[in-house]
Amino acid sequence: MINMGIFAYKGIDINGSLISGSIEATNIDDAQSNLISKGLSILSIKKTISLLSGFNVGSLSGRVKRRDIIEFARNTGMMLKAGISILDALEDIGQTTEKKALKSAIQNLKDSVISGSTLSYALNANARIFPDILIRMVRIGEETGRVERSLMDIADHLQRIEDLSETIKRALMYPIFVLFTTGGALLFWIVYVMPKLLSVIKEMGEKLPLITRMMLFMSNFIQSKWYILPFIPIAIIAGIKLVKQKEKGRYYLDMVKMKLPIVKLFVFNKYLASFAEQMKIMVVAGITIDKSLVIVSNSVGSEVFKRAIISIKEKISTGSKISDAIKEQSIFPKMVVRMIDVGESSGNLGEQFAFLSDFYFKKLDDVSEKLGKMIEPVMMTIVGIIFAFMIMAILLPIYDLVSKFK
C-alpha cells in the first residue's frame, strides 16, 4: 500500500450534523477533496501522524492484522449475500470479534450507518484500521449494487497477499537464522579473539598491514561504541520513513527496489500481479477503464507503477487503445501488452486480466519458494569475504613476523 498520512477533520454534513473523524490520504489537498466529494463542509483539518504514517497503525492499537480484515470482509460479504442487513451483519460480526481495535472500529461502522452514512463512508472514517483498497471496492460495490461481491473479491485478493507473505516468511526463516548465528560468530571474533591475537603481534614491534589496522580499528570502535549499534537499524528505518513522506522519495525507493538483485524478482512480479488482479476486479464489476485505472493507481503500492498507470489513463482519455497506452510504459512486459490487446479485440478484457493475475501470482509463488535458496549463496559469499578479510588481517602480520626469523 502507498505510504499515506492520517488527517483528522471536523465538518458539517448535508444534514447539518457536526461530523468528526479521520481520513487517510497522500496529502491535505487530497484529504479535503475526498471529504468535499462526500458533501462535507470542512471546518478544520490537520495531519495527525507523520513519522508513523508508514507503519500499520492498526498494529499499534490492538494488532489488527491482514487476516482479521480478510475475515471481516469475507464474513460481511457472505452475510449480505444471504440477505442479512448491513446493520445485523455488523452487529453479529462485532460480537464475535476478539480484537478490541477491530471490535471498536466495527461499532463505529454500525453507528455511522445508523446515522445515515454509507458503508464506504463509515469505512473511510476508520481508515486507520481498514485498507484503502477495501474502502474503494465497497464504494464501487455501492455504486453498482454489488457490495457483497466487492467484499468477497477483496477478501480473495487480500488472502492471496496473505498466503504470499506467509510463504516468504517461511522461505526466509533459514537465511535469517544463518545471518544471526554467523553475525554473532563474526562479532565474537572481531570483539574478543582478534584484539588478543593482534595485541601480541603489536607488542613485538611489528608494523601491522593496512587491512589489519582497519580490522583493529573496527574492533576498537565496536568495543568502545557498542551502545551505538542498536540505533543503526533504527536510524536506517527512520530515514526510509522520512524519505517515503515525499512522493519523489517514494518514487526513487521503488526504483531502487525494482533494480536490486533478487529483490526485483519479487517486487516487480508483486506489482504486476496486484495491478492485474485489481484491474480484473474493477472490469468484472463493470467499472469503466479510466475510473479503474485511477483507483488502481492509488492502491497498487508503487509510486513508479502509479505514475505509469496515470500516464496510461491520460493516453486512453485522448482516444488511445489500452494496449497502445500500456506499450508506451517500459515497466510493463510485452506479455501484458499482448494479453490486453487480445482482450480488447475479443471483448473479454476481464478474463485476460484474470489470466495475467494468476500468471504473476504463480511467478511470485515460485520466486517465494526459491527465495531462501537464492539468498543463501549470496549470504554465504558475503560471510566468506568477511571471514577472508579477518583471516588475512591475522595471518599477514604473522607471516611477516615469521619471515623475519628465517
Q: pLDDT by residue (tens digit) across 234-247?
A: 888 888 888 888 88
> Which grid cell sits at 27?
496529502
pLDDT score for 348:
87
Other C-beta atoms within 10 Å of 246: how many? 12
130-157 mean pLDDT: 85
Report if pTM > 0.75. Answer: no
211-236 mean pLDDT: 80
- pLDDT category, 310, cuts 50, 70, 90? very high
What is the distance between the alpha carbons of residues 15 and 145, in angstroms, rounded to a whole number?
Answer: 24
Instruction: Name which residue leads in pLDDT, 204 or 46.
Output: 46
Q: Give me the chain's average pLDDT, please.
A: 80
Instruction: Name which residue leads in pLDDT, 53 or 23.
Output: 23
DSSP-based three-state secondary structure for 203: helix
Q: Which of 112-126, 127-141, 303-317, 372-386 has the least mean pLDDT?
A: 372-386
| 182-219: burial string, b at 16+ Cβ within 10 Å, e else | beeeeeebbeeebbeebeebeeeebebbeebeebbebb
The CA-to-CA distance between both ends of the chain, in Å, stands at 67
pLDDT score for 56:
40
Please list, in sequence order, all residues whose beta carbon lies within 8 angstroms of the beta carbon of residue 41, skipping any fewer than 6 positions away.
11, 12, 13
Q: Which of 110-124, 262-276, 371-385 has the least mean pLDDT?
A: 371-385
Evaluate whether 282 touches 296 at the Cβ level (below 8 Å).
yes
Evaluate whether 47 touches 5 at the Cβ level (below 8 Å).
yes
What is the distance between the alpha carbons of residues 29 and 51, in angstroms, rounded to a whole number?
Answer: 19
- pLDDT category, 204, cuts 50, 70, 90? low
Residue type, 341: D
What is the distance between the alpha carbons of residues 278 and 297, in angstroms, rounded to a whole number?
Answer: 10
Residue type, 159: Q
- pLDDT category, 141, cuts 50, 70, 90? confident
pLDDT score for 224:
79
pLDDT score for 61:
41
Angle subtended by helix axes 303-317 and 247-257, to nearest 10: 110
Residue type, 106: I
Evaluate whether 77 touches 148 at the Cβ level (below 8 Å).
yes
